[in-house]
């Protein structure tokens, strides 16, 4: 999620709606020019540093975050309302992924040159020796996300993977957690400067500042996690530059979950697990189970409707997030002529809406395909009943790209392969009898999918493969070993 | 190179300027709609075929081209004027690379799933099993190049790598060799249809047809080799679609070659090798040594000026190519106030210009940096003298991105590392004491570089890694083996 900020930003406690703490001015043109120059120098230092130096710095940053976890979580909770347990876990995930990238490069993973030896033969078989090296792209701009103040923000996966690759990073703070961003940045900056790497990481505030940096000829790539509208605007800027650059945008995702009747053995438990996933973090996850397809007349329906009434609201990240969610929910309800089946309400000064589901059937969403592209980013789920697998497959084929899909079924179910094949065309990750929320940070992860889930469906923003986004091959042809060794 | 064609195309013999053979109409809207539908079905068949079936088909296509080499070379020579020896070699290279992609997938290279086993531990370390599979993107449109009627055309590297990945291909014939394109296409189509894979490969004619296909929601990626202007226009179309798609464009390249004084032991032989590389295929190579930097007062200069006078012209691929070359040469000569030092002329009805060099110094090109971005695609080289390595490094830092750079030097030369580092920032391939023309088809190759050399600098269009452009990861989370095995 991203929203248009004004020329200055102040933290707002989403539980009360009250502003607090320092006012952050938008980074101005002179400051941007200065930090871009420093980032260029920082890139020279960092890209020519040894792998051991980069590993030491990354581990130092992770250690600094862990050492300050209580302070970090306290301010992040005030700014985001996500709660101490979740935020504590998120810091752990963030430092884990920084250390995992450090470990990967220390093992030479992804960055080791590939030697293709000289072949003494006639063309086209014969060729000189090639050493295929991987070079960092340069200075990268990272747009922090609203919903993960640590794991997808200033020192989140995009920054960690770019730094591991040898790139310098200019991070744009998300306006809904400027104090958390500043604190995380200060800790990392201090580690980097102490180790002799000034300029490797910078922080900016403001949408216009982000756009200015993205347009700089010095900048070689961009990474973004947020809304379809904001992300597409930035993607368009990156692609229409005189020199277009890679832009790794995650632009929102309407994630399908399909339950076959063979996959629902305990309707009550199934409904509970669904609502737990739907309402986790107030539904503000890009992997939220946005649309649940269930067989018509499934007892799950009654369970969901009855259980939702017990669920309590949690705060939204910001007023803008709440407003957008409420508008999308009303729009969906209107388009489908489906009532909002709401849970409990909370009326005070904070940013709350009741959790809710909308129930409809396949014919209705098929008649209005745009309803399958409305992302209610927040605590609202769409439940679609189906009576016919062939029609379900057709509906899946017409879905937009998404990050994640799930199927609930028995392995022996005859429809499993067809449904899975259809789903796999649409997503980067397909889960078996598992809800989509909770994205493991591991080598096999794929967090990215067909547009709009990602603007770069060949890549992932979570897991070690994320580093490949910031490396480009450079082949050294026919080099004497003594020279090649000084270039790698 | 690409040029705007009219609504119909006929072959023109560049040695005589005479049109010959059948007239090819631009593929019309109804034909495009029909072939896109067939390509969709073709993709379903092809992407679900076994690897062994794909390997058999690719090998069958390579065999069919080899079996018809004499006919293919004869018509290509009439259409391109590139000569029988070069074209014979090019068919060999083309079938070699088709077989290499077949071999790669038969060995599971690039396409094998990566298994990331279940880890039983608390978060963030613990995670379910992931099987990271690689799925073909879908239907791909390939825009054939002017200058390689086989290796970068209908069945060139883009098509071969896309087919190996499991994609269906719609190939746009280049208007300067429509008969060669049609013949190659027919051979491949027949092999594919015989093996039960209709619709996997289609051929279209005309720029508008290419644009229409690129805009189709069915199409998942584009590949292009040609001019900066045409390539950028197509790139912009691909990126501004409602659903942007990967576009692998090679848009032209001004390739720098740096000779340090330690790298020129025999000025006469050096000049000969330079002119051989510059004039190979009438200079119509994307890896042509466009700019040669030599020490001031080097005896190489006299050698080049004297030897160029002996060199004979070869035909251009088309009148448009010749016209563009002549305009760029005149512009460069005007901007630099440097005379065109020309070789021999040939006045008849064909598309010829004299081979030539322009000699200038570093101060002049530094004063007019746009001169370093003029690609004289054809038999014209720019020779720039330098007196100071620091100034040379600055000039290199201001170059546009290129496919390839070369350095000629002794390994013991103290300036080698600095110059190589500067060059490597600008290119995808850096060669040691070797001219840039002649691109080996091998795993270590990198044919691609910073924009405008490539619109996708993370990828190569030559060598086995080219297949990765057409595959996207799909992670299967927590799947029972019996289901996963049916999905992979």
Residues A329-374 pLDDT 10s: 999 999 999 999 999 998 778 999 999 999 999 999 999 999 999 9
Q: How far is CA B166 from CA A285, A424, A448, B102, B160, in A?
A: 33, 15, 20, 11, 10
User: Would the pLDDT of A8 be above 90?
Assistant: no
Q: How far apart are CA A312 and CA A265, in angstroms?
A: 26
For residue B8, the model assigns a pLDDT of 84
B277–chain A Cβ distance below 8 A for any pair: no
User: Using H for helix, E for strand and C for coil, what is the string for A221-244?
Assistant: EEEEECCHHHHHHHHHHHHCCCCC
Q: Where are the domains of chain B?
A: 8-251+454-487, 256-432
Residue B484: the pLDDT is 97
User: C-alpha angle B180/B186/B192, rounded to 5°?
Assistant: 140
* Residue in A closest to B235 by C-alpha: A239
CB-count burial class (<10 Å; 0-12, 13-18, 19+) for A427: buried
Those of residues 128-187 in A touching chain B at CB distance below 8 A are 128-132, 135, 137
The answer to whether residue B369 neighbours chain A at the CB level (below 8 Å) is no
Name the CATH topology of A8-251+454-487. Answer: Aldehyde Dehydrogenase; Chain A, domain 1 (3.40.605)
> Quick one: which H or E segment has residue A397?
helix A389-397
Single out the residue of B107, B134, B109, B114 nearest to residue B52, CA to CA: B107
Give me the sheet containing B247-250, strands edge to edge.
B201-204, B168-172, B139-143, B219-225, B247-250
CB-CB under 8 Å, A455 with B468: no
Q: Which residues contact A408 (CB under 8 A, 6 or more apart)?
A: A257, A258, A259, A260, A263, A264, A270, A433
Is pLDDT of A455 > 70?
yes
CATH class of B256-432: alpha beta
- pLDDT of B1 above 80: no
Interface check for B7 against chain A (CB to CB < 8 A): the answer is no
**For B313-368, how does the pLDDT look when each residue is reduced to its tens digit (9 = 90+)?**
999 999 999 999 999 999 999 999 999 999 999 877 899 999 999 999 999 999 99
Between CA B156 and CA A297 the distance in angstroms is 54
Average pLDDT score, chain B: 96
Rounded-to-integer distance, Cα B466 and Cα B445, Å: 10
Q: How far is CA A11 from the centre of its chain?
A: 22
3-state DSSP call for residue A109? coil
Task: Please answer yes or no on whether B458 and A443 come within 8 Å at the CB atom.
Answer: no
H-helix or E-strand containing B238? helix B228-240
**Measured between alpha carbons, how far is B28 from A86 in angstroms, rounded to an integer?**
58
Residue B460, pLDDT > 90, answer yes
Cα(first)–Cα(last) distance of chain A, in Å?
Answer: 40
Give the chain A residue whose CA is nearest to the CA of B485.
Answer: A417
Tell me which chain B residue has its CA closest to the CA of residue A408.
Answer: B479
Concerning whether B370 is annotated as a catalytic residue, the answer is no
> Cβ contacts (< 8 Å) between A433 and chain B: which residues?
478
Residue A6 — very low, low, confident or very high, per pLDDT cuts 50/70/90? low
- Hunting for tokens 């014969």 — which residue is that? A126
Evaluate the CA torsion angle A203, A209, A215, A221 in order and state its sign: positive
Question: What is the rounded distance in angstroms from the CA atom of residue B415 to the CA atom of residue B293?
Answer: 14
Report, as residue numbers or ranges, the catalytic residues of A: 250, 286
pLDDT at B6 over 70: no
CA atoms in the 13 A half-sphere facing the CB of A460: 27
Chain A residues touching B116 at Cβ < 8 A = 442-445
Cβ of B127 and A401 within 8 Å? Answer: no
**B17 touches A: beta carbon within 8 Å:** no
- Residue A196: CB atoms within 10 A of its CB come to 12
Pick from B457, B470, B481 the residue to mutate for testing the A interface (most A CBs within 10 Å): B457
State the pLDDT confidence band at A3, using cuts at 50, 70 and 90: very low
Facing residue for A434 by CB, picked from B115, B450, B478: B478
Give the SS3 label for residue A37: helix
Residue with tokens 């745009």: A370
Of residues A129, A416, A482, nearest to B411 (C-beta): A482
pLDDT at residue A385, rounded to an integer: 98
Question: Which residues, including other chains, have CB under 8 Å from residue A299's CB and lie 6 or more apart?
Answer: A264, A267
Mean pLDDT, residues A39-60 taken together: 98
The pair of structure tokens assigned to B366 is 């530094």
**Active-site residue flag, B286:** yes
Contact state of B236 with A240 under an 8 Å Cβ cutoff: yes
Burial of A414 (0-12, 13-18, 19+ CB in 10 A): exposed
Within 8 A of B245 by CB-CB distance, chain A residues are 451
Mean pLDDT to the nearest integer, A92-116: 98
Is A249 in the B-facing interface, judged by CB distances under 8 Å? no
Query: What pLDDT is recorded for position A2?
Result: 42
Virtual torsion, Cα B222, B223, B228, B229, nearest 10 deg: -40
> How many angstroms separate the CA atoms of A166 and B23, rounded?
54
B346 vs chain A: nearest CA distance in angstroms?
A: 32
Chain B window 85-104: which residues touch A at a Cβ cutoff of 8 Å?
A: 89, 92-93, 96-97
Q: Which two tokens stand for residue A64?
A: 């600094």
* Closest Cα in chain B, distance from residue A259 (Å): 15
CA atoms B245, B248, B251, B257: torsion sign: positive
Question: What would the pLDDT profile of B369-406 be if each residue is shown by its tens digit?
Answer: 999 999 999 999 999 999 999 999 999 999 999 999 99
Q: Alpha helices, DSSP H only, in B280-432? A: 299-308, 319-336, 362-367, 389-397, 416-424
DSSP designation for B174: P
Mean pLDDT across A137-141: 98
Q: Where is B204: in which H helix or E strand?
A: strand B201-204
Establish if B305 touches chain A: CB-CB under 8 angstroms.
Answer: no
Residue in A129, A431, A437, A444 to test binding to B, most B beta-carbons within 10 Å: A444
CA of A25: how far to CAs of A3, A9, A170, A208, A239, in Å?
16, 6, 17, 12, 28
Tens-digit pLDDT profile for residues A219-254: 999 999 999 999 999 999 999 999 999 999 999 999
Checking if the pLDDT of B19 tops 70, the result is yes
Contact A326, A319 (CB under 8 A): no
* Whole-angstrom distance, CA of residue A140 vs CA of residue A168: 6
CA B400 – CA B423 distance, rounded (Å):
11
Instruction: Tell me the residue length of chain B.
Output: 488
Q: What is the pLDDT of residue B7?
A: 72
b/e B275-300 (16+ beta carbons within 10 angstroms → b): bebbbbbbbbbbbbbbbbbbbeebeb
Closest residue by Cα to residue B378 from B312, B285, B307? B285
Chain-chain contact of B244 with A244 (C-beta, under 8 angstroms) = no
C-alpha to C-alpha distances, A294 to A386, A484, B319, B468, nearest whole angstrom: 6, 60, 63, 37
- Which residues does chain B have within 8 Å of residue A479's beta carbon, measured at their own beta carbons? 430, 432
Choose the closest CB to B430 out of A421, A428, A476. A476
Residue of chain B whose alpha carbon sits nearest to that of A246: B456
Q: Is B12 exposed, middle or buried (0-12, 13-18, 19+ CB in 10 A)?
A: buried
Is B440 in the A-facing interface, judged by CB distances under 8 Å?
yes
Verdict on whether the full-model pTM lies above 0.80: yes
Chain centroid to CA B251: how far? 8
ipTM: 0.97
């Amino acid at each position: 999620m991203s929203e248009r900020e004004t020329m200055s930003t102040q933290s707002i406690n989403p539980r009360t709606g009250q502003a607090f703490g320092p006012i952050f001015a938008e980074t101005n043109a002179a400051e941007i020019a200065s930090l871009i120059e420093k980032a260029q120098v920082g890139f020279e230092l960092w890209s020519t540093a040894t792998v051991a130096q980069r590993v030491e710095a990354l581990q130092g940053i992770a250690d600094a975050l862990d050492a300050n976890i209580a302070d970090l979580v306290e301010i992040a909770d005030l700014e985001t309302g996500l709660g101490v347990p979740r935020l504590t876990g998120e810091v752990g995930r963030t430092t884990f992924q920084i250390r995992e990238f450090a470990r990967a490069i220390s093992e030479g993973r992804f960055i080791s040159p590939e030697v293709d030896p000289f072949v003494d033969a006639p063309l086209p078989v014969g060729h000189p020796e090639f050493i295929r090296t991987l070079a960092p792209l340069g200075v990268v701009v990272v747009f922090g996300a609203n919903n993960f103040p640590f794991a997808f923000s200033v020192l989140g996966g995009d920054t960690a993977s770019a730094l591991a690759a040898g790139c310098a990073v200019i991070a744009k703070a998300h306006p809904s957690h400027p104090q958390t961003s500043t604190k995380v940045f200060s800790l990392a900056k201090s580690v980097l400067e102490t180790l002799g790497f000034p300029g490797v990481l910078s922080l900016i505030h403001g949408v216009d500042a982000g756009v200015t940096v993205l347009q700089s000829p010095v900048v070689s790539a961009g990474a973004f996690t947020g809304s379809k509208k904001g992300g597409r605007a930035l993607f368009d800027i990156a692609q229409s530059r005189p020199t277009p650059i890679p832009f790794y945008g995650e632009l929102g995702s309407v994630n399908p979950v399909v339950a076959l009747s063979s996959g629902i053995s305990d309707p009550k438990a199934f409904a509970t697990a669904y609502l737990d996933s739907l309402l986790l973090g107030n539904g503000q996850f890009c992997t939220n189970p946005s649309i649940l397809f269930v067989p018509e007349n499934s007892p799950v329906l009654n369970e969901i409707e009855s259980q939702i009434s017990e669920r309590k609201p949690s705060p939204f990240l910001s007023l803008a997030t709440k407003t957008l969610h409420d508008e999308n929910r009303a729009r969906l309800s209107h388009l489908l002529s489906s009532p909002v089946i709401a849970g409990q309400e909370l009326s005070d000064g904070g940013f709350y809406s009741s959790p809710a589901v909308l129930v409809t059937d396949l014919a209705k969403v098929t008649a209005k395909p745009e309803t399958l592209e409305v992302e209610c980013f927040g605590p609202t789920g769409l439940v679609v009943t189906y009576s016919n697998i062939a029609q379900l497959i057709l509906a899946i084929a017409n879905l937009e790209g998404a990050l994640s899909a799930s199927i609930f079924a028995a392995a022996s179910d005859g429809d499993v392969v067809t449904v899975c094949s259809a789903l796999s065309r649409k997503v980067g990750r397909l889960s078996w009898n598992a809800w989509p929320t909770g994205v493991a940070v591991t080598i096999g992860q794929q967090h990215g999918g067909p547009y709009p889930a990602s603007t770069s469906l060949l890549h992932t923003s979570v897991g070690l493969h994320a580093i490949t986004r910031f490396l480009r091959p450079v082949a050294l042809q026919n080099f004497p070993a003594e020279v090649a060794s000084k270039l790698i």
